[in-house]
Structure 1
Amino acid sequence: GGLSAVKEKDLPRREELQKKLDKYLKGRSFFIFRADNRFRAGVCKFVNHRYFERVVLVMIICSSILLAVDNPHTEDGRSAAEKLIFEILDIFFTTVFTIEMILKMIAQGVFHPKTAYLRHTGWDVLDFCIVVSSYISFAADSLNISYLKTFRVLRALRPLRAIRRVQSMRLVVGALIRSLRSILNVLMVCLLIWMIFGIIGVVLFAGKFGSCNVDEAVLSVLRADAIKAIGGENVTVYYNAESQPYVIDQDNVTHTFSDKTLCNGTWMEADLSWKNADFTFDDLGQALMTLFVVASFEGWLTVMYQAVDATSIDMQPVRNAHTPAALFFIVFIIIGSFMFLNLFVSVIFINYHETKQRDSGFSNLNDNQIQYIEEIKLILRLKPKAVPPIPKTRFRRFFYRIVLHNAFTYFILIAIIINVLVMSMTFYDQPTDYGIVLEAMNVVFTILFDIEAVMKIIGLGPAVYFKDGWNIFDFVVSVGSTVELFLNFVDTSVLRVLRIQRMFRVFRATRVFRVTRGLSGFTELFRVVVVALPSMGSNASVLVLLLFCYAVLGVNLFGAVKIGEGGFDPYANFSDVLIAMMTLFRIITGEDWNQIMVNAMVQPPDCDPASNCGSILAPIYFISFVLVGQFVLMNLTLAAVVGKLIVVSIV
């Protein structure tokens, strides 16, 4: 009986495998192996076995770990043994992926038929390109061909191979790819609108965002009224009310630097130089990049005020010289960002959900039928609670009636609210007597909540009580608070070393969450989170994978860029994969991402061109990441929550 049950369980897998064999075993692979060739059939069964895919997934994860550890900019500091280990591991993983590719080519064919390796899916083409780029990188290292070493950065795409082997991630990415045509159509419309504003910006502001600057490294403040000395006591630089620099020499003669020629041609010994702004409208490419920064709302005020202060081409800016210039940016934000950028996000929402419904088999169903299926899924997932059975003994029935009475529920809710208010009254350096009163009230509430837990366990019974997730949470909080209360009477010198008391004090703060249990609105939101977690998890996993790939790519591109003045911030750089991922997560939140991009483009004289300068690819890297990470994936997570909120509100 057990053997037949196992066979019945394996039957769907066998049927699925047979479908794949019928699908792939067509034509001749490598012009040698026919469709009925036993060797080819065996290879096809092997590569389509679930354990084969799992082994390949493990290899992808291990190779990704190697990418995270292998920093190309620290190779010179490695020992010979470390270099050999990295080379062997790189060759090993490349060999494994090559064998996988060849086996799949034998099973499916290379170019013919339509199900062949290089024609069936884009994922196979991606695998092929990654393997080929690895061999080109090996050849570049062996022959010392510098321009071919750029293929090494394509190794950052290796983790993307995991997407096709994880179904939830494959559904998300597949839906995005199939929505690409509609997304590109809207993106082209947005780009057209931005180009119009970009051309207008070039006409209005080209060459006007420069200013005469003094090298801050040689400045020293002489007086509080901002008089600064350069190069000696007889040469001083002043800034007038419009922030324009001028110099008074030893003969009391005033020299102004109102334009680029005077700034660069006079008083060079005073380290005066004409410097262009980080974001300008000098050409259409610069204008589009500046408008993208403005549309992201990060640093847009700086750009607008530079336009307001602009006077003429290569002339020193004057504060509030042209205030109406602000209208250009206000109109662009309303049209280019609020309208068309949000339209771009909306199209992503709609097409993503429609494509995901088709992938889930809902393409032949109408909206009401899809809604009905979602409601059934919601009901099954939430598992409605049954009414606790009435105890048989009089003693337990007494507590049963109390803990299920509305008055008891409201009493506990009021106690929780008062306890939260008491906890919020604590502050630094509070009076001793005040602290004693608060601590005494905390003891009272701790005992009260312990009594509540005991009464519920007696009245409902341990089996029923611990079936409810909220009851488990309440019990853990009560136990933790009681332990923390007990630790107050233990030798504090020991606890201070172990920090145990502080750890248990966290349980006291978690009582805040108990307030939400009695609020019906929060209960509905909690149901939304429970239902949306699978979709949010899928989107989050794709986002983490994107962060990792961009981090590896960023380390290869910007890992050597200087850290310090003119370069990266010590807390936001690409020196290793972990810091790079933290930097990229910061960029997703929109925090100062434009300045990080500027730092990644640092050029001489602010860096050494032989070792620590930036890359001209920085705008492509950062803008593409902001577009995909912030505007697409983060908004898809929001769309998943909103979609489930609609379903829950209907149910």
Structure 2
Amino acid sequence: MYQVIKSKFNALKNNKIFELVVVAVIILSALEIGAKTFQLPESAISITYILDTFITVFFLVELTIRFIADDDKKQFFKKGWNIFDSLVVAISLIPIDDSEMALLARLVRVFRVLRMVSVVPELRVLINSLIKALPQLGYVVLLMFIIFYIYAAIGSFVFNSINPKLWGDIAISMLTLFRIMTFEDWTDIQYETMEVYPMSWIFYLTFIFFTAFAFLNMVIGIVVSVMEKEQALLYVSNEPSMTELQTEIKELKALVNQLVTNQNKL
């Protein structure tokens, strides 16, 4: 009996229509959370309360289906996305009204939108790629910090007398450099210093080249490289293994031999 239920739940979990229904409920949850940020009439508040109850129950049922359909239940709660989904569902069961944890429950309901990532495999590939790229990105960030620090020190020493609000000390100078890197009215800063130091444009252009161009391309290259590896692993994991292929070949041979035997008997 349990194996029948498990096989049915497994088929339901892998059903594309069921996946689309889960995605639709997550989108409905996002819309319901957004609606609560507006001033709503009493009738609309009642509807959002009913929707919230339905969404919480649906997520609980969906998580239960995935748990029963899983072959290795001991490893189910060791997977990061399953832990995240379980925490979101568990905390969503906390009553919002008249509770000391009401604020926590409301905040967790906002994170229900992130369940879209755990449902859609392509989104999981993106997030996993970003997480795996963090160690390599850390060295890029460290190098960028060094460049920021050097240019901030130079800017603070040279341009402090021109505009102390932008170049007063090294901390303020780094904020100014971040503004320059994001191209937020950076030409105004440049022309202000060029009135005193006409060649100061070299300072700005070299900084923009190192940060906005060189380092940005490094980050993109690292993320794309890791993403390609993740997609390759996903493709390999979705392909049937050699053992499965050999089993299918043996079954086909047995079926062919049986057909030949029956044909000879006739």
Q: TM-score, normalised by structure 1?
A: 0.31
Superposition CA RMSD, Å: 3.3
Equivalence for 2:251:
none
Aligned equivalents of 2:23, 2:228: Cα separation in 1: 29
Aligned equivalents of 2:35, 2:187: Cα separation in 1: 41
Within a 5 Å distance, the mapping from 1:329-478 to structure 2 comes to: 398=5, 401-402=8-9, 405=12, 406-407=14-15, 409-454=19-64, 456-457=66-67, 460=70, 463-478=74-89
Decide whether aligned partners of structure 1 residues 641 and 478 sit closer, same or farther in structure 2, where only a CA change above 3 A counts: same
Decide whether aligned partners of structure 1 residues 459 and 428 sit closer, same or farther in structure 2, where only a CA change above 3 A counts: same
Asked if the contact 1:588–1:630 (Cα under 8 Å) also holds between the matched residues in 2, the reply is: yes
Aligned equivalents of 1:510, 1:425: Cα separation in 2: 15
Equivalence for 2:205:
623
Asked if the contact 2:26–2:116 (Cα under 8 Å) also holds between the matched residues in 1, the reply is: yes
CA drift of 1:521 comes to 3.3
Aligned equivalents of 1:526, 1:440: Cα separation in 2: 32
Within a 5 Å distance, the mapping from 1:183-222 to structure 2 comes to: none
Q: Deviations over 1:457-497 (max 9, x none)?
A: 566476322122111111122233334xx24223xxxx6xx
Decide whether aligned partners of structure 1 residues 436 and 458 sit closer, same or farther in structure 2, where only a CA change above 3 A counts: same
Residue from 80, 99, 109 that aligns with 1:508: 109
Residue from 212, 216, 240 that aligns with 1:634: 216
Within a 5 Å distance, the mapping from 1:215-614 to structure 2 comes to: 398=5, 401-402=8-9, 405=12, 406-407=14-15, 409-454=19-64, 456-457=66-67, 460=70, 463-483=74-94, 486-490=95-99, 501-562=102-163, 568=165, 573-601=166-194
Aligned equivalents of 2:87, 2:198: Cα separation in 1: 55
Where does the alignment leave 5 or more consecutive residues of structure 1 unmatched? 1-393, 604-614
- Percent identity of equivalent pairs: 24
Relative contact order (C-alpha < 8 Å, sep 6+): which is higher?
2
Equivalence for 1:364:
none
Aligned equivalents of 1:527, 1:595: Cα separation in 2: 40
- 1:633 maps to a residue whose letter is F
Asked if the contact 2:9–2:68 (Cα under 8 Å) also holds between the matched residues in 1, the reply is: no
CA drift of 1:633 comes to 0.9
CA drift of 1:455 comes to 5.1
Which protein shows a greater Rg? 1
Aligned equivalents of 1:574, 1:505: Cα separation in 2: 42
Aligned equivalents of 1:620, 1:444: Cα separation in 2: 61
- 1:625 maps to a residue whose letter is F
Asked if the contact 2:56–2:93 (Cα under 8 Å) also holds between the matched residues in 1, the reply is: yes
Aligned equivalents of 2:194, 2:102: Cα separation in 1: 49
Decide whether aligned partners of structure 1 residues 479 and 520 sit closer, same or farther in structure 2, where only a CA change above 3 A counts: closer
- 2:97 maps to a residue whose letter is N
Equivalence for 1:75:
none
Matched residue SS, 2:123? helix
Stretches of 4+ moved more than 6 A in 1? none
Q: TM-score, normalised by structure 2?
A: 0.69
Where does the alignment leave 5 or more consecutive residues of structure 2 unmatched? 236-266
- 1:595 maps to a residue whose letter is D
Aligned equivalents of 2:117, 2:52: Cα separation in 1: 20
Aligned equivalents of 1:547, 1:404: Cα separation in 2: 54
Asked if the contact 1:601–1:616 (Cα under 8 Å) also holds between the matched residues in 2, the reply is: yes
CA drift of 1:419 comes to 2.1
- 1:593 maps to a residue whose letter is W
- 2:108 maps to a residue whose letter is F
- 1:439 maps to a residue whose letter is Y
- 2:151 maps to a residue whose letter is Y
More helix per residue:
2
Aligned equivalents of 1:501, 1:553: Cα separation in 2: 50
Decide whether aligned partners of structure 1 residues 445 and 631 sit closer, same or farther in structure 2, where only a CA change above 3 A counts: same
Decide whether aligned partners of structure 1 residues 546 and 451 sit closer, same or farther in structure 2, where only a CA change above 3 A counts: same
- 1:545 maps to a residue whose letter is I
Decide whether aligned partners of structure 1 residues 502 and 396 sit closer, same or farther in structure 2, where only a CA change above 3 A counts: farther
Q: Deviations over 1:27-48 (max 9, x none)?
A: xxxxxxxxxxxxxxxxxxxxxx
CA drift of 1:602 comes to 5.8
Q: Deviations over 1:72-112 (max 9, x none)?
A: xxxxxxxxxxxxxxxxxxxxxxxxxxxxxxxxxxxxxxxxx
CA drift of 1:580 comes to 2.6
